Amino acid sequence: MSVLIVGSTALDSIKTPKAENPRLLGGSASHAAVAASFFSPVKLVGVVGEDFPKRYIQIYKRHRIDLEGLQILPGKTFHWSGEYELNMNNRRTLLTELGVFETFTPTLPKAHQNSQFVLLANIAPSLQSHVLNQMQRPRFIAADTMDLWLNIALPDLLKLTKRLDAFVLNDSEAHQLTKEDNMFAALRKIHKLGPKYVIIKKGSHGSILSSPQGFFICPAYPLHKVVDPTGAGDSFVGGMMGYLATAKGSIDRNIRRAMIYGSVVASFCCEGFGLNRTTGIKRSHINARVKELEKLTRF
Chain positions contacting ligand AMP, by CB under 6 A: 8, 10, 12, 26-28, 80, 96, 122-123, 148, 230-234
**Smallest distance from the beta carbon of 82 to ligand AMP, in angstroms?**
7
CB 73, CB 100: distance < 8 Å: yes
- Nearest CB to ligand AMP, comparing residues 195 and 233: 233
235 CB-near residues (< 8 Å, 6+ apart): 31, 32, 34, 35, 262, 265, 266, 268, 269, 278
Least distance from C-beta 212 to ligand AMP, angstroms?
Answer: 27
Q: To the nearest whole angstrom, how small is the minimum distance from the Cβ of residue 48 to ligand AMP? A: 12
Mutual angle of helices 28-36 and 54-62, in 10-degree steps: 30
Cβ 256 to ligand AMP shortest distance, Å: 21
End-to-end C-alpha distance for the chain, whole angstroms:
34
103 DSSP assignment: G
For ligand AMP, the closer of residues 1 and 153 by Cβ is 153
DSSP state of 66: E
DSSP 124-146: -HHHHHHHHHT-S--SEEEEE--
Q: Which is nearer to ligand AMP, 98 or 290 (CB)?
A: 98
Query: 173: closest CA among 125, 129, 130, 110?
Result: 125
Which residue, 208 or 232, is less far from ligand AMP as judged by CB?
232
Q: Which is nearer to ligand AMP, 70 or 247 (CB)?
A: 70
Residue among 80 and 261 whose Cβ is closer to ligand AMP: 80
Q: Provide the minimum distance between the beta carbon of 10 and ligand AMP in the complex, in angstroms, as a whole number.
A: 4
3-state secondary structure of 244: helix
Q: How far is residue 275's CA from residue 78's CA, in Å, rounded to a whole number? A: 17
CB of 288 to ligand AMP, least distance (A): 24
